[in-house]
Amino acid sequence: MRLRLIRHATLLVEYGGQTLLVDPMLDDPGARPPIQNSPNPRNNPLVPLPFPAHQVGTGVDALLVTHTHSDHWDANASLLLNKQLPLLCQPDDESKFRAQGFTDLRPVLDETRIHDVRVNRTGCQHGKGEIGKRMAPASGFVLRTRGEPTVYVAGDTIWCHEVRDTLSRYEPAVIVVNTGSAQFLEGDPITMTADDVIHTCQAAPRAQVVAVHMEAFNHCLLTRAGLAFQLDAARVIDQVSIPNDEEWVEVGV
C-alpha cells in the first residue's frame, strides 16, 4: 500500500488493489469564508490543490468520507466526482449524499466490504464537552485485507478512549491522524494537538503515524513545523510522517 496527501485531509489510498479517495475537499483557495468564531480569519481553503480539482478523482475506485464538514466534503467534491462511484460514509450522512445525486452509497454502521477490503467504522470525539457534541457525528475507519498492513484513518478526533480502544482492538500498522489543533475562539481544540499525536505514538509505538489536516484551513493553528518540533522533543518523530501536499507516503519506508 501507499498513500498520498492531496491537501488537508484529502488522501489517495492505494490499498488491496483499490484506490480510495478520502475526504475530498476540492474547492479553489478562498472559495469560502472563514469558520465562524474562529481565530486566523482567512478565507478557506488557504492553499490551492497541487493539481486541478477535476483530476483528483481520476483512477479512483471508491470514495470514503469520514464526515461532511466543509473541510472534508465541499461543493466541488459534490460537483466533480463521479456520482456512480461507491461512496462509503457514516450512516448519518447517507441522505445528504443521496440528495447530491450519488447513487452507490455504502453507509457503514459497523463493517462493510469494498471488494476484498474490510472497512470498519470507529468512534471519534470531534472536540470536548458541548463543542464535541455540536461537531458530532464524525467517524474514523479501519481498512484491512490480506497482504496489507492494517490502516486506521482516525478522522476528526482528539485523543480519546475511542481512539485508544481502536488501537488496541485493531493494532493498526499505519495511523492517519487529523491534527492542526483546529479551534474556535473559545474552548479546547477539536482535532489533534501535538500532545494528542504524541499520545497516539506512545500508545502504538510500532505503528507508522501519518499526520495531516494542517496549513489548509483557517482554524487549524498547528503547523507542520510546529508539530515536528514537539514530536522531536517527545522523541517520537521517527515514527511520524508529515507529508506535504501532493507527497506520497511509502509505508514501511
- Interface contacts to Zn ion, rule CB under 5 A: 71, 156
Residue number, 25 or 87, with CB nearest to Zn ion: 25
Residue number, 7 or 199, with CB nearest to Zn ion: 7
Question: Cis ω on the peptide bond leading into residue 137 (within 30° of 0)?
Answer: yes
**Helix (H/G/I), strand (E/B), else coil: 104:** strand
Q: 62: Cβ–Cβ under 8 A, 6 or more apart, which residues? A: 18, 19, 20, 21, 85, 86, 87, 88, 114
Residue number, 71 or 215, with CB nearest to Zn ion: 71
Cβ atoms of residues 39 and 221 within 8 Å: yes
Q: Rounded to whole angstroms, how far apart are CA atoms 218 and 220?
A: 6
Cβ atoms of residues 174 and 143 within 8 Å: no
Question: Minimum distance from CB of 53 to Zn ion (Å)?
Answer: 18
For residue 123 the three cell numbers come to 468512534
Residue number, 6 or 117, with CB nearest to Zn ion: 6
- Using CA atoms, how far residue 23 sits from 129, 138, 168, 236, in Å, is 25, 12, 25, 27
Q: 73: Cβ–Cβ under 8 A, 6 or more apart, which residues? A: 23, 24, 25, 65, 67
Residue number, 145 or 166, with CB nearest to Zn ion: 166
Question: Minimum distance from CB of 138 to Zn ion (Å)?
Answer: 8
Residue number, 86 or 155, with CB nearest to Zn ion: 155
Question: Minimum distance from CB of 218 to Zn ion (Å)?
Answer: 12
Q: Rounded to whole angstroms, how far apart are CA atoms 169 and 196?
A: 19
Residue number, 71 or 148, with CB nearest to Zn ion: 71
Q: In what order do the strands lie in the sheet with 2-7?
A: 104-107, 86-89, 62-65, 18-22, 10-15, 2-7, 248-250
Question: Minimum distance from CB of 197 to Zn ion (Å)?
Answer: 15
Q: Rounded to whole angstroms, how far apart are CA atoms 170 and 188?
A: 28
Task: Please tell me the number of Cα atoms within 13 Å of 187 on its side-chain side.
Answer: 19
